A = this chain, B = another copy of it.
C-alpha cells in the first residue's frame, strides 16, 4: 500500500556537534519512494554520502542550541512479506561475495558465543528458512519486550542471558543466532505500519534459498521477532551488520535528543 511515514527529532546541543543521520530511505526492489522531504531548523549545510552498505547518510554539524530534523517519506510498499517454509539453506560456498560479511561476528552480534543456544533452538528443523523461523519464534516466546531494560551497549549475548529487551535487541539476537549457524543475517531499521506504540523499528533479514525461483543463490527474507505474525508494509531506511552500522543518529559530542515523534499513515 502507499504509506506516508516520517519522523521529527528535536535535539539540544550545548556546543556545535558533528552528527550523522540516516533518515532517508532509498528506492529499491522492495519499495518505491515517490515523495520525500527533509528539513532542518535552523538550516545548516548538510551533505549526503553512501556508506559501504548502500545506505544514504547525511552529515552535518548541529548549531549550538535547539535543532529540529524532520524527514518524511511516502512509499509504495508490499502488503505482505514472503514466507517460505522449507526454503533451503545456502551452503557457504554459494553465498554471493557481498553477502559473506553478514556471516561474521559484529559489535552487538557476537555469533561466536551463541552457537550452543542456536543449535538447541533449531534442533528439529530442516536447514534454512525453517531454522530462521524457529529462531524468530523462540525469541518471540522467550524474550520479554520491555523498555528500559537494555541500552546502547547491550549485545545479543546479554539479551540471551537476560531474556529481555526491545526491538533492537530482538533483532540482534536473531542475527547472532542465524550467523552462528552459517546463515547470513543483517539488521534492518525503518518504519512499520501500525506498529504499536509507533516508533522507529528494527528487525532482521536472513539469506536463504528461494525455493520458488529455484535461484541457487538465495535471497534475503524478512523476519521480525517482535511480531506474532508476518507483517508487510515496512519502509526500510538502512541495512547493516548491526545497530552500530545503522544508528539513525550518530553524534560526536554533547547532543541531547529531547523529543522524537514518528508516524506512518496510509497515503491519501
Number of copies: 4
**What residues of B have a CB within 8 angstroms of the CB of A52 in the complex?**
52, 98, 101
Among B34, B49, B91, the residue within 8 A (CB) of A38 is B34
Enumerate A38-66 residues with CB–CB distance to B below 8 Å. 38-39, 43, 45-52, 54, 56-59, 61
A124: Cβ under 8 A from any B Cβ:
no
Using CB atoms, name the residue of chain B closest to A105: B107
Q: A37 touching B34 by the CB < 8 A rule?
A: yes
Among B46, B93, B252, the residue within 8 A (CB) of A32 is B46
- Interface size for A (C-beta < 8 A) is 57
A92: Cβ under 8 A from any B Cβ:
yes
Q: How far is the CA of A56 from the CA of B252 in the complex (A)?
A: 30
Q: A245 touching B112 by the CB < 8 A rule?
A: no
Using CB atoms, name the residue of chain B closest to A52: B52
Q: How far is the CA of A184 from the CA of B98 in the complex (A)?
A: 23
Interface stretch, picked from A23-31, A132-140, A191-199, is: A23-31
Residues of A near any B CB (own CB < 8 A): 18, 20, 26-29, 32-39, 43, 45-52, 54, 56-59, 61, 76, 91-93, 97-98, 100-101, 103-107, 109-110, 112-113, 152-153, 182, 213-216, 244-245, 250, 252
Q: A101-B245, A105-B107 are in contact. List 6 more A-B contacts (CB 8 A).
A: A18-B92, A20-B100, A27-B48, A34-B37, A51-B101, A110-B153
Sample (23) of A-B pairs whose CB atoms are under 8 Å apart? A18-B92, A20-B100, A27-B46, A27-B47, A27-B58, A29-B47, A36-B37, A50-B50, A51-B97, A51-B101, A52-B98, A57-B97, A57-B100, A59-B93, A59-B97, A92-B252, A104-B250, A105-B107, A106-B107, A106-B244, A182-B252, A213-B216, A214-B214
